[in-house]
Amino acid sequence: MTLEPLLIAELITLGIGTGFLAGLLGIGGGMIMVPFITLIMSARGAPPDLAIKMAIATSMATIIFTSISSVRAHHQRGAVRWNIVKGLAPGIVMGSLIASLGVFALLKGSWLAIFFGLFVGFSATQMFLDKKPAATRQMPEAGGKVAAGGVIGFLSGLVGAGGGFISVPFMAWCNVPIHNAVATSAALGFPIAVANALGYIASGWSIQGLPEGSFGYIWLPALVVIALASVFMAPVGARIAHALDVKRLKRIFACVLYVLAAYMLYKGIASS
């Protein structure tokens, strides 16, 4: 699978869009990247099962770079709650490795696509409704943070997302102010991405028939192009996030997610 000019243009556009959204909404961009990378690889002849798995793995690997760029911009504004990051990170790493090293390799790509579609649809609904938490609810103690991190890391590993669609609603549910939740989610994207990327490399290392330029399940050409484009746009999104009505933006974005969820459900059902 060669990097012809059209493919490069598609990947750059994808990187710009996901980088901007990573900074704006505190997401790693996987909810956008996975459907489009699946579409790009399928259009170039990759088997459906393999296209879905490589899209998930490649998406997660790009979040390593996007999260660094995004969190730097949020940290400069003092918005990252590092105490929450330290509490959730151990569980995140454990959950991520369980997903990417074990469950991911065992599940068929079609089942992963269906799970991705259902998960994105649920996340979009939560984002659209924007339910308010009870005023007395707070972040859990140390053990609760580890357990919550494990769930975030595990689900992120199955769908190739940076965890923002779980961690932002969770922190908001615990009465963390939304701008702090978005910024902290960006920081959590780094341990999620590193742990899962290592798992995807290990679990895909012996797989036959991978496209040229693959490193385990990660497709390196797409990783490089998307990452380069996204790191420039993440700080732009982060700056705008502090000046706009994020609630309205999330509702608009939720509508886009419903379309992407429907596409992945179609791919999963069609290839099962």
Q: What is the mean pLDDT of residues 156-163?
A: 77
List residues bridging with 215 in a β-sheet.
218
pLDDT band at 147 (very low <50, low <70, confident <90, very high): very high
Is 90 exceeded by the pLDDT of residue 141?
no
Is 90 exceeded by the pLDDT of residue 237?
no
Q: What is the mean pLDDT of residues 200-221?
A: 88
pLDDT for position 26: 60
pLDDT for position 58: 92
CB 249 within 8 A of CB 38: no
pLDDT for position 267: 79
pLDDT for position 256: 73
Of how many residues is the chain composed? 272
Is 70 exceeded by the pLDDT of residue 246?
no
Dist CA 84 CA 170 (whole Å): 12
pLDDT band at 44 (very low <50, low <70, confident <90, very high): confident
pLDDT for position 82: 94
What b/e readout covers 6-41, taking b as 16+ CB neighbours within 10 angstroms? ebeebbeebbbbbbbbbbbbbbbbbbbbbbbbbbbb
More confident residue, 243 or 11: 11
pLDDT for position 230: 82
Residue 20 is inside which H or E element, if any? helix 5-25
Strand blocks (E) in the chain: 214-215, 218-219
Dist CA 189 CA 21 (whole Å): 13
CB atoms within 10 A of CB 117: 24
Q: What is the mean pLDDT of residues 240-261?
A: 74
pLDDT band at 83 (very low <50, low <70, confident <90, very high): very high
pLDDT for position 54: 92
pLDDT band at 134 (very low <50, low <70, confident <90, very high): low
Q: What is the mean pLDDT of residues 33-53?
A: 86
CB 54 within 8 A of CB 218: yes
CB 200 within 8 A of CB 64: no
Dist CA 93 CA 111 (whole Å): 23
pLDDT for position 137: 64
pLDDT for position 218: 94
Q: How far is CA 94 from the centre of its chain?
A: 17
φ, ψ for residue 4, nearest 5 deg: -75, 160
